[in-house]
Amino acid sequence: MQWRKGRDLRELFLAYFEEKNSVRYPSFSLIPEDPTILFTIAGMVPFKPFFLGIRRPEVLRATTSQKCIRTNDIDNVGRTARHHTFFEMLGNFSFGDYFKKEIIPWSWEFLTERVGLDPNRLYATIYLDDDEAFHFWHTSVGLSKDRIVRLGEDDNFWAVGPVGPCGPCSEIIYDQGPEFSCGRPDCAVGCSCDRYLEIWNLVFMQFNRNEAGELIPLPKQNIDTGMGLERLSSVVQRVKSDFETDLFKPLIDKACAISGTSYGATPRGDLAVRVISDHVRALAFMIADGILPANEGRGYVLRRLLRRAVRFGRLLGVDRPFLLDLLPTVMELMADPYGELLANRATIESVISLEEQKFGRTLEQGSILLETEVRSRKARGETALPGGVAFELYDTYGFPFELTQEICSEQGVSVDEGEFREEMRKQKERARAASKQLASTLSGTLYTELSETLGSTVFDGYDRTEATSEVKALVIEGAAVTSVEEGDVVEVVLARTPFYGERGGQVGDRGVLEGPSGRIVVEDTVIAAGTLTVHRGRVVSGTVSVGDSVTARIDVERRTAIRRHHTATHLLHEALIRVLGEHVRQAGSLVSPELLRFDFTHFAPVTLRELERVERIVNAQILENEDLRVAHTTLDEAKKQGAKALFDEKYGEEVRVISIPGFSTELCGGVHVDATGDIGFFKILREEGIGAGVRRITAVAGMPAVEQALDTARVVSELELRLGGDPDQFVAKVEALQDEVKHLQKALAEERLRVHLARVESLVAARRDVAGISVVTGLFRNVDDQLLRSVGDRIKAALSPVLVVFAGVTEEKVLFVAMADDAAVQKGVHAGNVVRDISRIAGGGGGGRAQTAQAGGKDPAKAEEALAAVQAVVEKLVSGK
Ligand code: SER
């Protein structure tokens, strides 16, 4: 099997399925269109509506390398060879087109003929009663019966979630060999250890599981396959874990350099650099897709990953911000094909930098508290820190447990880990109970009852920002109470309110409720039971009781920013229709003070030119400064006027219509500016695909748009300083520089090769004759495997039968490359066995085929000794034949 780079495997896969008439899509966003999941967890997610048959596919065959994030097992990431948060899934999809008969032989052909995996190492698993899959594996592919293993639902039935498209699947397993086995006597196909590695999952999407858990056959039979690029690369590159592939290794090396460790030196150090390498990729991609740190949802995952990476850095003694130092390596590895990384580089840098600094301060505070606590306990003669204290630090300061352990052990104090884990478990339970309660209270009986007694909350906020109103209900943890006091986290229902409850994509308002004897800060506003506006917040002083008259005041500045973004969304919607066509329909939106997001149907990426046209139209309309008109009318009448409406939205008899005279009319309950000029300025930040046939535009208006323009201007000025000349010339200049770098790299590689080829003659002269075979060995410093192979090729061309074994050493490690020609192999030489044996001397391992092989070693000082052993190994091999 040929050694291939990760990026080449990605291309090989996509090109293969293009050959099979599939359309290649760029990866869709990590933020899915599907609201039931936080992240895109598989290649099929963006195609879900096609599988379900609720949207008509524009193509019948597709292929992608999809950015994915999985967060179900974060704590395991770094501890195993295979767990990741961010990974790339190679996938191909058939929407009612090809099925088992085609995909089974294709997958086999791809793996064995294109990639070159040894067929004797491959197995297939199938679902218990899937005789059809068995038939194609056995008859079309020719896989023997003992290599087709039937497994149950856990292994061979795949579903995107508890509800949704699903079906039986067939997994292709690669046997990595006994050295990867867990050693259990029953280790076989299906074992979760690393020996029988699942490399490709072929899902036969045939069902939709409904809320009741029933499997309803889908209108068509579909194919969804997924293969982890990192995993495939590890097999092809013959390394022990994904982290040693070329997709990760430069990051691992960088993390080692930052922390002064070397990979392979200690398990603790290895764990830390793996965590850091995994998480920094995830951070860059998440931020590039528009995720920002937050205390819930996706933003919380981002925050958690950043903190986990920082804290593993600390464990290695890195106590300065370091994540940004890894970013250039992420860019080098991934910016092609994921251009969004470069496009959002400035944002990625500033978000990581701010968040890392913030967490650094938290850690400092926590350390001081912990050290004081430990000291006072020691003074009292105690030698253990209760798990509860460690938990409190974790819970209040985000102070990681491992760090607590570390600081305590420096002081000779132990920490009760069992107790800590128990507290964690309890907290998780509380959180689960709370979120269940929250979900159920908003739609559940309490608010339904309140809504029956109180009727609807009157919304006063279209034309005012402040109102006096009566407190109608107070709720704490899902139970109605009559009064609340300082410190309480509460939900408040008023008779009328200027606060907008989150709906129709527009986020809820924030502000304060001022009562005669207390004050509540409102952090969010939502709608419950369809009719009640619920203010969520905290009592910051005094008490508030049902019946109190309060002044409800919204955060006006925030509201103004929301209004600008909301009206800008309407302008954008109409501009998109004008530029792209009448097929454009709104598929979702988010209107917040920081930005707007608009999802819409369109089947191709929107080009830069089209985006510019859209921006021009929107900004021209802003400059028109038209007054907005708001009208209440019947749904029929509104439709007659050509008002845009969401097709799956339910509207009442009377509807609210927002018109921008001469431009657009749309049904909408949200808050808007008075005249378009109030928006100030509009700028698109990003355009991306989030599902098949659905695009997303993220844009800013008002001050955030001004800030964006200033940021860009700053970058341009900096480039002016560095590149000189006219900004119009920047692209050409950068291209010229890139060409030059490529050229220089090539020249450098050639020069290096020339220098090393000069050694060919002396290496050949110093050959030894072992049983009629010329054995040539040599030691090289600071070269890569490519160069070693090129020099080896020259020697192979000059001698026969021949075995070449080279060691390439750096300060930290040694790489052995062995090459034998066919004549030597016939005499019993096996390059794989040679490197396997000699690399052990240098503290490493590896192997390969008889003709070519490579292996690593951790001890460069032993390289000479290992080379000296070649002769004996060859003698043994030849005599054993
Ligand atoms: N959806 C399947 C998986 O994630 C195959 O793509 O394994």
DSSP track, 436-503:
HHHHHHHHSHHHHHHHHHH-PPEE-TTT-SEEEEEEEEEEETTEEESEEETT-EEEEEESEESPPPSB
Looking at the CA of residue 89, tell me the nearest atom of ligand 1. 6
Question: Which pLDDT band, with edges at 50, 70 and 90, does 440 fall under?
Answer: very low
130-151: burial string, b at 16+ Cβ within 10 Å, e else: bebbbebbbeebebeeebbbbb
CA distances from 59 to 63, 93, 392, 543 (A): 11, 10, 54, 61
Helices (H), 581-660: 608-624, 635-640
Which residue has the least CA distance to atom 2 on ligand 1?
A: 226
Question: Which pLDDT band, with edges at 50, 70 and 90, does 169 fall under?
Answer: very high
Q: How far apart are CA 230 and CA 82, in angstroms?
A: 8
Looking at the CA of residue 41, tell me the nearest atom of ligand 1. 4
Looking at the CA of residue 91, tell me the nearest atom of ligand 1. 6
Q: Which of 201, 206, 222, 230 to mutate to test the pocket of ligand 1 (most atoms within 8 A of CB)?
A: 201
CATH superfamily of the 6-239 domain = Bira Bifunctional Protein; Domain 2 (3.30.930.10)
CA of 852 to the centre of ligand 1 (A): 34
CA of 331 to the centre of ligand 1 (A): 27
Q: In the chain, pLDDT over 70 holds for what percent of residues?
A: 98
CA of 150 to the centre of ligand 1 (A): 18
CA of 284 to the centre of ligand 1 (A): 24
Helix axes 556-580, 608-624, angle to 10 degrees: 120
CA of 200 to the centre of ligand 1 (A): 8
Q: What pLDDT does residue 289 have?
A: 93
Per-residue pLDDT, averaged over 412-424, amounts to: 90
Tell me the per-residue pLDDT of 177-194, one tens digit each, with 9 for 90 and over. Answer: 998 998 898 899 988 888
pLDDT over threshold 80, residue 654 = yes
Looking at the CA of residue 226, tell me the nearest atom of ligand 1. 6
Domain at 759-879: CATH architecture: Roll (3.10)
Tell me the per-residue pLDDT of 373-386, one tens digit each, with 9 for 90 and over. Answer: 898 898 898 889 99
Tell me the per-residue pLDDT of 138-163, one tens digit each, with 9 for 90 and over. Answer: 999 999 999 999 999 989 999 988 88
Q: Which of 40, 44, 93, 231 to mutate to test the pocket of ligand 1 (most atoms within 8 A of CB)?
A: 44
Helix axes 345-379, 401-410, angle to 10 degrees: 40
pLDDT over threshold 60, residue 531 = yes
pLDDT over threshold 70, residue 647 = no
Q: Which two tokens stand for residue 184?
A: 């259990």
CA of 6 to the centre of ligand 1 (A): 20
Per-residue pLDDT, averaged over 433-448, amounts to: 61
Q: Alpha-carbon dihedral of residues 113, 119, 124, 130, nearest 10 degrees?
A: 70
Question: Which 3 state secondary structure label does DSSP give 359?
Answer: helix
Strand partners, 65: 90
Residues 6+ apart with CB under 8 A from 587: 33, 599, 600, 601, 694
pTM for this structure?
Answer: 0.71
CA of 229 to the centre of ligand 1 (A): 13
Per-residue pLDDT, averaged over 414-424, amounts to: 90
Give ∠ CA 80-85-89 in degrees, rounded to 5.
Answer: 100
Which region among 70-84, 106-120, 559-573 has the lowest average model confidence (pLDDT)? 70-84
Query: What topology is assigned to 446-554 in CATH?
Result: Elongation Factor Tu (Ef-tu); domain 3 (2.40.30)
Q: In the chain, pLDDT over 90 holds for what percent of residues?
A: 67
The residue with greater pLDDT, 219 or 169, is 169
Q: Which of 66, 93, 203, 207 to mutate to test the pocket of ligand 1 (most atoms within 8 A of CB)?
A: 203
Where is mean pLDDT largest: 294-308, 462-476, 711-725? 462-476
CA of 863 to the centre of ligand 1 (A): 44
Per-residue pLDDT, averaged over 553-567, amounts to: 97
Strand partners, 593: none
Q: Which of 70, 89, 127 to mutate to test the pocket of ligand 1 (most atoms within 8 A of CB)?
A: 89
Q: Which of 65, 158, 160, 200 to mutate to test the pocket of ligand 1 (most atoms within 8 A of CB)?
A: 158
Could you tell me the residue ranges of all domains in the chain? 6-239, 257-435, 446-554, 559-711, 759-879
Q: Which of 240, 403, 252 is nearest to 329 (CA)?
A: 252
CA of 269 to the centre of ligand 1 (A): 32
Backbone angles phi, psi at 799, to 5 degrees: -130, 155
Q: What pLDDT does residue 434 have?
A: 56
How confident is the prediction for the chain on average, in pLDDT? 91
CA of 231 to the centre of ligand 1 (A): 14
Q: Does domain 559-711 sit in CATH 3.30.980.10? A: yes
Contact predicate 443/528, CB 8 Å = yes
pLDDT over threshold 70, residue 175 = yes
Radius of gyration of the chain (CA): 32
Q: What pLDDT does residue 244 have?
A: 96
Residues 6+ apart with CB under 8 A from 179: 845
CA of 202 to the centre of ligand 1 (A): 7
Tell me the per-residue pLDDT of 659-702, one tens digit each, with 9 for 90 and over. Answer: 999 999 999 999 999 999 999 999 999 999 998 888 999 999 99
Contact predicate 575/618, CB 8 Å = yes
pLDDT over threshold 80, residue 648 = no
Q: How far apart are CA 792 and CA 835, in angstroms?
A: 15
Tell me the per-residue pLDDT of 770-828, one tens digit each, with 9 for 90 and over. Answer: 999 999 999 999 888 888 999 999 999 989 999 999 999 988 889 999 999 999 999 99
CA of 166 to the centre of ligand 1 (A): 10
Q: What pLDDT does residue 439 have?
A: 47
Which residue has the least CA distance to atom 3 on ligand 1?
A: 226
Ligand 1 neighbours, Cβ below 6 Å, are 42-44, 91, 158, 201, 203, 224-226
Which residue has the least CA distance to atom 4 on ligand 1?
A: 42
Per-residue pLDDT, averaged over 557-584, amounts to: 96
CB atoms within 10 A of CB 213: 8
Looking at the CA of residue 43, tell me the nearest atom of ligand 1. 6
Q: Which of 380, 424, 384 is nearest to 400 (CA)?
A: 424
Per-residue pLDDT, averaged over 170-174, amounts to: 97
Contact predicate 317/725, CB 8 Å = no
Q: How far apart are CA 532 and CA 554, in angstroms?
A: 17
